[in-house]
Chains A and B, each alone.
Chain A
Amino acid sequence: MQVPAPFDYERATSVDDAIGLLARLGATARLVAGGHSLLPMMKLRLAHFEYLVDINDLHGELGYVKVEPTRIRIGAMTRHRELLESPELLSSFPIFHDAERVIADPLVRNRGTIGGALCQADPSEDLSAVCTAVDASCVIRGLDGERVVSMAEFYRGPYETAVGNAEMLTEVRFPVRPHGSSAYEKVGRRAGDWPVVSCGVAAWVEGGVITDARVGLAAVGPNTTGIPAISQALRGRAPSEDLYAEAGAIAAAYCAPVTDQRGSAAYKRHLAAELTRRALRRAVARIDGREV
């Protein structure tokens, strides 16, 4: 059994309490939500923190999926399983359901949270590709109040985010626009594994042309990022297999994969194209009602 080095443990009673604890304890403290990334790293002694601030009691405050007329708000403590089982998300943004089906396993999904997943900032993290595709913003709260950043601003590098020492990600929100849908495609070496490559797509089609489309790729660079060039290439054009292939080619050119145990850089580049094509095709088919 792997055992962590000594640490102290605090249990936050509210968001304000958690932020207060972080401010008091400084950089040696870390929030623990689901703990499925953090605790294994501590047990392997790859990460050392003097304090853990447990925020699982904040599920009541931060565990929600709220659908408003023009946007959806998801609380940072919403668990993977709640995203998987949310009927609202399934009907408006099926990309969440697609992704959650292939994230880890039921044990992890029962505990892991969207906030924890994004803040871990693993380059291969699935929900970051989803949030990039749906144009999400992250609400970060500190002692002085809230600020809102885009996904592109949120990521600062592998395992690094815009969330400061005495700050906490509280909410992920994204706009709801008509005539759109979304999809997620992932290739893993095994069920529950991190992706070799994965791709999230959200697209909107009106009058036979794509009015907007966003692509988020995971595991092909230091962070998950959107690919604005694909959006530019797709806007105003009629969906077709050729267009999907063109988008895929842009994805392949844009990404920066490295060779590792999961696959060669060439294969990952190929997957970036192939999965972009597949996810676009599926998202558009869903808009047309040809696929669920």
Chain B
Amino acid sequence: MSFSKLARETTHSFSKLARETTQRFVDNDLTPMGHGRMLRKEDPRFIRGKGRFIDDLQLPGMLHLAILRAPIAHGRIVSVDVSAAEAHPKVKLVVTGAMLAERGLAWMPTLSNDMQAVLATDKVRFQGQEVAFVVAEDRYAARDALELIDVEYEQLPAVVNVRAALDPSSPVIRDDLEGKTDNHCFDWETGDKAATDAVFARADVVVRQDMVYPRVHPAPLETCGAVADYDAVDGTLTLWSTTQAPHAHRTLYAVVAGLPEHNIRVISPDIGGGFGNKVPIYPGYICAIVGSLLTGKPVKWTEDRAENLTSTAFARDYIMHGEIAATRDGKILAIRTNVLADHGAFNGVAAPTKYPAGFFGVFTGSYDIQAAYCTMTAVFTNKAPGGVAYSCSFRITEAVYLVERLVDCLADELKMDPVELRLKNLLRPEQFPYTTKTGWVYDSGNYEPTLREALRIADYAALRREQEDKRARGELMGIGVSFFTEAVGAGPRKDMDILGLGMADGAELRVHPTGTAVLRVSCQTQGQGHETTFAQIVAEEIGIPPADIKVVHGDTDQTPFGLGTYGSRSTAVSGAAAALVARKVRDKARLIASAMLEVSVADLQWDKGYFHVAGDPAKSVTIQDVAMRAHGAGDLPEGIEGGLEAQICYNPENLTNPHGAYICVVDVDPGTAVVTVRRFIAVDDCGVRINPMIIEGQVHGGLTDGVGMALMEILAFDEGGNCLGGSLMDYLIPTALEVPDWETGFTVTPSPHHPIGAKGVGESATVGSPPAVVNAVLDALKPYGLRHVDMPLTPSRLWEAMNGNPQPPI
């Protein structure tokens, strides 16, 4: 038997065997050539438990790292004694802040140009802060050895309240910063103060409301972790880590650790949920790298649940004062707000450099108003650093909550129906592209049909009749509405960067000789279904079925540079890159096809998958034929190189602005104050829809987030700075039993500048749903004369409010 025949036959049998073992699990009869509903390509591995996460990784000789954390929120380190831990028979290494300081590694830059301690040297500044680490033969021994480290603290008063933090008598948390004499972090303002004050001065009606968006936590199912493997022989570092932004992290490691960037490989394997929690660089990653450098072995660090909840990036923690001015007949004129922002012990916010408050500037919402102004003071406290994280679109969650609550408060003041008030003030389609009073340009929008569609699905008039009947019987039913405009897909490099890295993203597409393809992208899926969506984007452009397109991501050695996945930017930025690189490949394919068909390029027609001669469809070549020709024998047209591949870097012209209208229906038990979310209608407009099933999944998840934040989630602290949300028994996240069957709908207003008209959608529901739930509960409680109650609307907090004792949560 000849070798080639043998190879053919064994290959055939291998592929038959592979088919038999995989196809049994494939139930995917919806196979669009491009956009459309199809099951996710990545799901077979996840539903069979074959996902490969950081903690699944086992390397020969791998050691385990555990971190000793501060038990108190604020205290000076008097002494650290590691001798007993070092004597543990399974311990290989114990490292303290002082030891890191000797190597210049005790501090690292945050994504906001602040410095954060890797291991505390002088003081601990929040409960859960990293103080020392142990590397041992197994994770049990590493954890046991932590108990053998003796740290003496001189306890200092903890500062947990932003107002107290600004008091001149408050202890200074950041005495590591030269000349720092207070806890002030930064001031920020946007809009036109004089113009806004002038409009307020002549308005018929002004409504003022204080509101708190409490600190919450993303709490991804998979906690953070890393495996660092430094090869001392060739000087390369491979770091498997839970990161939403592998390329940006690699550059920062090069800067911080001084390793040449080309010798660092960051791999982000399957990620069990990010929600922004996996954007920052955590001290644990640096510790793992140091551990591997010092031991010469691979070192694994896996955070436990308490560590994740108490020390990693939180979200929100905004104390807002809002004011809205309007005419007596309900024309909104201006919005004014002042915000106190709690940034924790270090300013670790992940937001574009020029936007210290993220995109909070979009607080004017979806309304046609005359003026707006915002001032903000950010403050250091003895709480964990981070901020922005949790599907918030860089603080748009807070902005939308503020404006949508204010509009409901205004409706209450004017005794107007909240839907009528919104319809009277929504931006009109002819106003787009629309520049807001705070300088944001909304790319496109057609708001009224979206709201009308939500009203239709809900049967709003019938709901109001039902509510009237129930009120007459003493039952508490509420209907809440919210309308949001998102701003996602950061961003144009002229305006947006993170630590100097422009927010443009690369894509590379290679079509193989047999006509299958591999797309390499810089963004990183954490469960959003990129391997499907991005294959569909390419399929739509070059007519290769999604099943034949592999999407490679999460490995800096295998993918082009880009800033990763957060702020709903993947489809908006990398999705655009994927479409454009596919078009670039198609343009080349067209030149080869014209030679194959012996007609001029002008006489060729593209028909998703093949070129044919105009007027003669029988004379055609498929994209697969072209791929083989591009790699095969025989001459190519003059000036055409072999192969069929392309690479681009996409710099978005603007953000994309998805919008949506949400309606929530709740029942409140008058005796126990328990809220039941009975119905939730979500109509989303995210432009052109690539895979509607994946969009619905994103929306369902975000709505669940929203119900959680509105009703139960809060990362609370006691007066001593102890975190009260250190486990999932204390930090509550909703289950399927707390949420209704979601009722979703859609409208389509394409983005004018995105190559396929798509907009991001990943965070829309998290942004839009909390005010809908809160508005619904306040609507139910109209008989109690309440205009506002702060989240979370737990039964106890709500009952206190119903009994005349509404309390802010912090």
Contacts and interface: CB of A to CB of B under 8 A. Distances in A.
Contact of A3 (B140, B732, B734): B140
Interface string B683-700: 000000000000000000
A271 B712 CA distance: 18
Given A44-B727, A193-B732, A275-B672, 7 more contacts: A5-B147, A189-B794, A191-B735, A192-B735, A263-B795, A267-B796, A274-B671
Interface string B126-150: 0000000000000110011001000
Interface stretch (B262-270, B299-307, B420-428): B299-307
Contacts of A70: none
Contact of A5 (B144, B712, B794): B144
A191 B737 contact: yes
A5 B88 CA distance: 14
Interface in A43-67: 44-45
Contacts, number: 66
B496 interface: no
Contacts of B737: 190-192
B729 interface: yes
A5 B141 CA distance: 9
A262 B810 CA distance: 15
A234 to B, nearest CB: 20
A270 interface: yes
B799 A270 contact: yes
A118 interface: no
Nearest to B143: A3
Given A190-B734, A191-B735, A264-B796, A1 B306 contact: no
A14 B513 CA distance: 69
A159 to B, nearest CB: 16
Contacts of B304: 1-2
Given A1-B304, A264-B800, A274-B671, A6 B144 contact: yes
B795 A2 contact: no
B795 A278 contact: no
B199 interface: no
Contacts of A189: 712, 732, 794-795
B732 A196 contact: no
A187 B140 contact: no
B732 A44 contact: no
B738 interface: yes
Contacts of A266: 800, 803
Contacts of B738: 190-191
Given A6-B144, A193-B729, A1 B799 contact: no
Contact of A44 (B302, B306, B712): B306
Nearest to B146: A45
B671 A261 contact: no
B732 A267 contact: no
B100 interface: no
A194 interface: yes
Interface in B488-524: none
B490 to A, nearest CB: 34
B716 A261 contact: yes
Interface residues of A, number: 28
9 pairs of A and B residues whose beta carbons are closest in the complex: A263-B796, A191-B737, A267-B796, A2-B304, A274-B671, A267-B799, A190-B732, A3-B140, A187-B672
12 contacts: A1-B55, A2-B305, A4-B140, A5-B147, A45-B147, A187-B674, A189-B712, A192-B737, A193-B732, A261-B716, A263-B796, A267-B799
Contacts of A278: 671
Nearest to A270: B799
B144 A187 contact: no
Contacts of B799: 263, 267, 270
B641 interface: no
Given A189-B712, A267-B799, A278-B671, A261 B730 contact: yes
A189 B140 CA distance: 34
A190 B305 CA distance: 19
A264 B147 CA distance: 35
Interface of B: 55, 139-140, 143-144, 147, 302, 304-306, 671-674, 712, 716, 724, 727, 729-730, 732, 734-735, 737-738, 794-796, 799-800, 803
A278 B674 CA distance: 15
Nearest to A191: B737
Interface of A: 1-6, 44-45, 187, 189-194, 196, 261-264, 266-268, 270-271, 274-275, 278
A187 B729 contact: no
B278 to A, nearest CB: 17
B139 A1 contact: yes
Contacts of A270: 799
B795 A194 contact: no
Contacts of A2: 304-306
Contacts of A190: 712, 732, 734-735, 737-738
Contacts of A264: 796, 800
A206 to B, nearest CB: 29
Contacts of B305: 2
Most buried by A among B147, B672, B724: B672
A261 B725 CA distance: 9
Contacts of B302: 1
Contact of A196 (B55, B716, B795, B803): B795
A155 to B, nearest CB: 22
Contacts of B796: 196, 262-264, 267-268
B795 A187 contact: yes
Nearest to B792: A189
B729 A194 contact: yes
Contacts of A6: 140, 144
B671 to A, nearest CB: 5
Contacts of A44: 306, 727
A274 B799 CA distance: 12
A274 B672 contact: yes
B151 to A, nearest CB: 16
A167 B774 CA distance: 52
A3 B302 CA distance: 11
Contacts of B671: 274, 278
A5 B143 CA distance: 8
B800 A267 contact: yes
Nearest to B66: A3
Contacts of A275: 672
A25 to B, nearest CB: 21
A239 B529 CA distance: 59
A271 B796 CA distance: 10
A264 B738 CA distance: 22
Contacts of B716: 261
A263 B732 CA distance: 14
Most buried by A among B147, B716, B727, B799: B799
Most buried by A among B144, B729, B730, B795: B795
Most buried by A among B147, B712, B794: B794
Nearest to A193: B732
Contacts of A271: 672
A270 B729 CA distance: 24
Most buried by B among A5, A44, A261, A262: A261
Contacts of B795: 187, 189, 196, 263, 267
B672 A261 contact: no
Most buried by A among B671, B672, B796, B803: B796
A85 B738 CA distance: 24
Nearest to B725: A261
A275 B673 CA distance: 12
A196 B302 CA distance: 33
B794 A263 contact: yes
Contacts of A187: 672, 674, 795
A198 to B, nearest CB: 12
A151 B734 CA distance: 34
Nearest to A260: B724
A292 B734 CA distance: 29
A272 to B, nearest CB: 11
Nearest to A268: B796
Contacts of B730: 261
